[in-house]
Amino acid sequence: MPETKEINLKISGMHCAGCASGIENGLKQLDGIKLVQVNYAMGTGRVDFEPGRVDENSIFHTISDLGYGAEPAEKAGDTFAAELATARRNLFWAVVFAAPVIIISMGLMLTKAEVLSHGAEGILLFLLTTPVLFYAGREIFSDAWLQTGHRRANMNSLIALGSLAAYLYSAIVLISFFLTHRHGETHFYFETAAAIVALILLGRYLETRAKGNARDAIGALLRLRPETATAVIKDEEVSIAINEIKPGMTLSVKPGEKIAADGTIVTGKPSVDESMLTGEATPVDKNDGDEVIGGSVNGNTAFRFEVTGTGDNTFLAGIVRLVSEAQNRKAPVQRLADKIAGIFVPTVLLIAIATFVLWYIFDPHNAMLLKAPVAVLIIACPCALGLATPTAILAGTGWAARRGIYIRGGDILEKAVKTNHVIFDKTGTLTEGHFEVSAFRAAEETDERVLFELAASAEAGSQHPLAEAIVEKAKSLDTRLTPVHNLKEYPGFGVKGEVDGKMIVVGNLVTLQKEGINTESLVAPAEEEMAKGRTVVFAAADGMALGYFALSDKIKDEAGEVINKIQAGGREVIMLTGDNIKTAKGVATELGIKKFEASVRPDQKAIIVETYRRAGNNVMMVGDGINDAPALAAADIGVSLGSGTDVAMESADIILVRDDLHTLLEALEISRLTFRTIKQNLFWAFFYNVIGIPIAAGVLYPILGWGLSPIIAAGAMAFSSLFVVTNSLRLMRTGTNVV
């Protein structure tokens, strides 16, 4: 496979979904481009390409040739403040000049007063309208001109054509008046042109502000990082910049301060507020040796910690990357909107031309000859189509991030909604993952101390939770442990090795039976332990059974409630475990799970997941351990608990930072509400344009005798985009009580 490189971009100059579609289509023409995703709402893009066939400079030049600006995302600062300031300034000057135009025009029209001569009125309106269009609205016209040069059209093209039509028509009428001194049909439409641009700029200002609120999840995370930290150098505390922090340094954190990096506590027992990162509402008590997360806030106790992660290698940086990637990834439901946006503007232009031609043929003296085509150009809104999906994803993933739920993209949100099977790994997911020996039994003629000495010595070479529990119990009984030689570990089954010259086998019942060891005297009492949901581990020496250990793993307090709610929502739940069928049945019965798979090896989990998928199911896999990673990757949606390994988290589509299954319910509910909002937005965007454009064209005029004013069309267009954004923002105000 050829090498593929990814570059993330900050793109400026986009004004509608058509712009994003144009950039995507333009870049796809380059040889070596594998994937292009442009997010209009975020002003960002992602390009995957083959370095041997195309370079980054070609990508930047292509975007520039298309009429837009681009720079690497990592080098681009937060442009929201500048965008908002520009939008506010343009709106201010538009209102300053447009308000008198509208007041004068409407006042004279309503009162029929002749305060000014017709010529003087026209000159005054012309002088006031010109700066509205070509100063306050200069970006609209400059971009429209640029698009024309590239033989393309976008939202600005429609606005420019509509407002220019009213402006130039009025200017021609004014010139004609002075040349002929005849009133005739000399009504001016300067107020139409001025109001159109002013309303569009008002809509863009409100839209910019709303989009800024929607995409503030990343900004909120970045603001968690302090600017400075206090380093301990030769027993002296020195203030340093955050970029000067290095792994291995010791930092001092005073009460109420933000923690500047990831690390391990060396002195002090603080209570740390991690809510902005994990969603954990209450502060977490820490002790010596515990880990702290950069960006969290210290409580009332000063402490010192050794730095383990800085810069891009911190937990916070990883979260920022996750949220950023999530907000750039498109949901499949957006594909239809993207296709329509790509042909939307040319279609509207054709409709406007057809509208003009039809009015010219059937009623050339009607005022609708000018009003209708202009209204069509102005009311059409591809922006709403472009904003419908990404703004909802921005709001949904931002809301989830504040709850300690990190969803990798809009496509994941959509898949989560369609999930109908949820598969849980048992150990560490439905249970605490901390085993303890609850009971043990030695075989006849075997001393209990010998059972522990030999079995624990063999298990000491394993890192499996069951092995660690047996070793811990042995140590608590002051058992002497002997080094193990020639240890072989069979994942999911047990271990085999030499201890004091004896060949020791420790594992499940199947393992001992395969070794030809007679366990008949132990099976009956062992099955009683299994029926209680306990895991039984057998031990043997030189082919003779030594006894067994019954280990219990406490079921999480919330597991039963979460399982019931998932099943009540119409999803089927399946449990996977390496335990034998009797132990698995005991746990499944306690949790109310009807389907489970027992004696599952780690490599079989992914096969089981794939089997359910091939049966036509949409499968979510929930796990935490390193042996869950293949299954997480195989599922439609992989969910990793935050207590899990890095490998499991890398394989997951949804990461639950808190080790609390309630957050799985929250993730499902956030996905449902976000996807519902996307569908509402898309319905509005389609409905608005399908209904609005024909009305603007004048289809109701022959029936009702009225058409749509271009000024009202401009207001409707601005409202359409604003409706989509504010509807998405409702997600962020929904609250956190979604369980």
| 185-194 pLDDT per residue, tens | 567 778 888 8
Per-residue pLDDT at 546: 92
Of 624 and 125, more confident: 125
pLDDT of residue 456: 93
Mean pLDDT of 14-30: 82
pLDDT at 738: 44
Is residue 492 very low, low, confident or very high in pLDDT (cuts 50, 70, 90)? Answer: low
Instruction: Please tell me the pTM assigned to this model.
Output: 0.70
* Sign, CA torsion 517/523/526/527: positive
The CA-to-CA distance between both ends of the chain, in Å, stands at 45
How far, in Å, CA of 114 to CA of 150, rounded?
47
* Band of pLDDT at residue 301, cut at 50, 70 and 90: confident
- What is the per-residue pLDDT for 625? 64
How would DSSP label each residue in 473-510?
Answer: HHHHTTPPP---EEEEEETTTEEEEEETTEEEEEE-HH
> In the structure, how many helices (H) and strands (E) does the chain have?
26, 26
Average pLDDT over residues 163-173: 85
R_g of the chain, CA atoms, integer Å: 34
Average pLDDT of the residues of the chain: 83
Q: How far apart are CA 199 and CA 154, in angstroms?
A: 18
Q: What angle do CA 231, 232, 237 make, to 5 degrees?
A: 80
Average pLDDT over residues 67-81: 75
Mean pLDDT value of segment 356-381: 87
pLDDT score, position 338 = 66
Asked if pLDDT for residue 603 goes beyond 90, the answer is no
Average pLDDT rounded to a whole number, residues 174-195? 75
* pLDDT attached to residue 251: 93
Mean pLDDT of 563-581: 91
Structure tokens, 325: 């990637």
Q: For residues 459-482, give the mean pLDDT.
A: 88
> Given this model, what pLDDT does residue 404 score?
81
Higher-confidence residue: 712 or 455?
Answer: 455
Tokens of 699: 């289809």
Parallel, antiparallel or unpaired: strands 619-623 and 637-641:
parallel
Tokens of 269: 């027992």
**What does the angle CA 310 – CA 311 – CA 313 come to, to the nearest 5 degrees?**
70
CA pair distance 86, 135, nearest whole angstrom = 12
Catalytic, 425? Answer yes
pLDDT beyond 90 at 94: yes
Kindly state the DSSP code that residue 333 receives in the 8-state scheme: T
- φ and ψ of 46, to 5 deg: -130, 135
Single out the catalytic residue among 143, 262, 425, 636. 425
Give Cα 188 to chain centroid, integer Å: 50
For 479-499, what is the mean pLDDT? 86
The per-residue pLDDT for 25 is 85
Per-residue HEC secondary structure of 633-665 comes to HHCCEEEEECCCCHHHHHHCCEEECCCCCHHHH
* 659 HSE (CA, 13 A, CB side): 15
Q: Using the predicted structure, report yes or no on whether residue 101 has a pLDDT greater than 50.
A: yes
Buried b (16+ CB within 10 A) or exposed e, 441-455: bbbeebeeeebbbbb
Question: CA-to-CA distance for 674 and 143, rounded, in angstroms?
Answer: 33
User: Does 737 have pLDDT greater than 50?
Assistant: no
Q: Give residue 185's identity as a one-letter amino acid code.
A: E
CA dihedral of 495, 522, 428, 603, whole degrees rounded to 10: 50
Q: Which amino acid is at 448?
A: E
548-569, pLDDT tens digit by residue?
999 988 889 899 999 999 999 9
Higher pLDDT, 646 or 471: 471
Structure tokens that stand for 383 in this block: 């922006």
- Residue 739: what pLDDT? 42
Report the sign of the C-alpha dihedral through residues 88, 90, 96, 98, in that order: negative
Task: List, in sequence order, every beta strand (DSSP E) within 203-247.
Answer: 228-233, 236-241
145: which residues sit within 8 A by CB, 6+ positions away?
A: 160
At which residue do the structure tokens 């008002």 appear? 202
Q: Looking at the predicted structure, is the pLDDT value of residue 736 above 50?
A: no
User: What are residue 601's phi and psi, to 5 degrees?
Assistant: -75, 155
Max CA-CA distance within the chain? 126
The 10s digit of each residue's pLDDT in 393-417 is 878 887 887 788 888 777 888 889 9
Each residue of 193-227: pLDDT tens digit?
888 888 888 877 877 776 666 555 556 666 677 88
For residue range 220-276, list pLDDT tens digits in order. Answer: 666 677 888 999 988 888 999 888 899 999 999 998 898 988 999 999 989 988 876
- Least confident window among 40-44, 51-55, 144-148, 436-440: 40-44
β-strands 572-576, 421-425 pairing: parallel
Q: Residue 424's pLDDT is what?
A: 95
